[in-house]
Amino acid sequence: MRVKELVRKLLPRAINPHRILAGPLRGCRIVTSWHDYPAAILGRTERPLLQWMQQHVHPGETWLDVGAHYGYTAIALSRLVGPTGRVFAFEPSLKAAACVAQAAQLNAFPQLVTFSLALSDPPDIGFMRLGATRGMLDSTLAVDPSAQGLLTARLDRFWPQVCGANPRIDGVKIDVQGMELSVLSGMAAILRAQQPKLIVEFHRGVDRHAIVELLESCGYAARGPFLDDLSYSFQPQLEALCEY
């Protein structure tokens, strides 16, 4: 791990458009830096997750990418839903959200819409500060006075304002650096009503029991153990499966 971090310190920090060099998204454009996200530029990241998406995401569907970072999975979702589908990317970091929006233009993905907003569970609009590393806002990091401030909203209240004439959500991907429970709590009504496909990455320090109880109350069956920094897919009344 030390060698990896030492090498990362030597990589360029400038954020620019790059062509993804290999993997399932080869040839697509992503806006990031070699320092922050070299694996995305090389096309070596999220392989099992992209394989899962290939099987479960279909043309014309509506998907939410909650915690989009620099947009690697948002790009994958946009390709799979096609021009008749929709992808709503939620990324609280202003810098990263701007990169996702630029990638949508570079790849000619009008189906990809970006919000610089953190989904959570405030009763109305909320505010919080989070520390950051490599372009990712992370609730598990210590917060100092210079940490970025950001607005938070619960999807249950926000979604009717932005979904247009079609409120249907077919799937949700969540990777939110420790905020899993609050994000899921803020969309519980939608989960109960629509039962979209769901894939969640669990991070260190997250209360798995509270999440399992919440998902079961929303009609999803979940079985552990759930390991750190792995993604698990959930479908209504089906066992949770480890994806990578």
pLDDT at 20 over 80: yes
In a domain, 194, yes or no: yes
Specify which of 73-87, 119-133, 198-212 reaches the highest per-range mean pLDDT: 73-87
Give residue 123's domain range.
45-242
Give 29 or 10, the one with higher predicted confidence: 29
Predicted confidence (pLDDT) per residue in 58-107, tens digit: 999 999 999 999 999 999 999 999 999 999 999 998 899 999 999 999 99
CA gap 152, 146 in Å, rounded:
18
Asked, for residue 198, whether it belongs to a domain, the answer is yes
Which three-class secondary structure state does DSSP give residue 196? coil
Lowest mean pLDDT of 21-30, 44-53, 137-146, 151-160, name the range.
137-146
| pLDDT, mean over the chain | 89
Say whether 79 sits in a helix, a strand or coil. Answer: helix
Please state the rounded mean pLDDT for residues 25-48: 96
**Residue 199: Cβ within 10 Å count:** 22
Q: Is residue 24 a part of any domain in this protein?
A: no
Give the list of residues 6+ apart from residue 53 with CB closer than 8 angstroms, or none.
73, 76, 77, 80, 173
Rounded to whole angstroms, the Cα distance separating 29 from 17 reads: 6
Residue 122: which CATH number? Answer: 3.40.50.150
Whether residue 188 lies inside any domain: the answer is yes
In this prediction, residue 138 has a pLDDT band, given cuts at 50, 70 and 90, of: low
Helix (H) / strand (E) element for 90: namely: strand 86-90
H and E: helices and strands count for the chain:
9, 13
Structural domain includes residue 161: yes
Please name the residues in contact with 17: beta carbons below 8 A apart, sequence gap of 6 or more: 29, 30, 31, 102, 103, 106
Place of tokens 């409120």: 167
**Number of domains composing the chain:** 1
Is there a domain that residue 14 lies in? no
| Bridge partner residues of 29 (DSSP) | 19
The token pair that represents 228 in the structure block: 């750190």
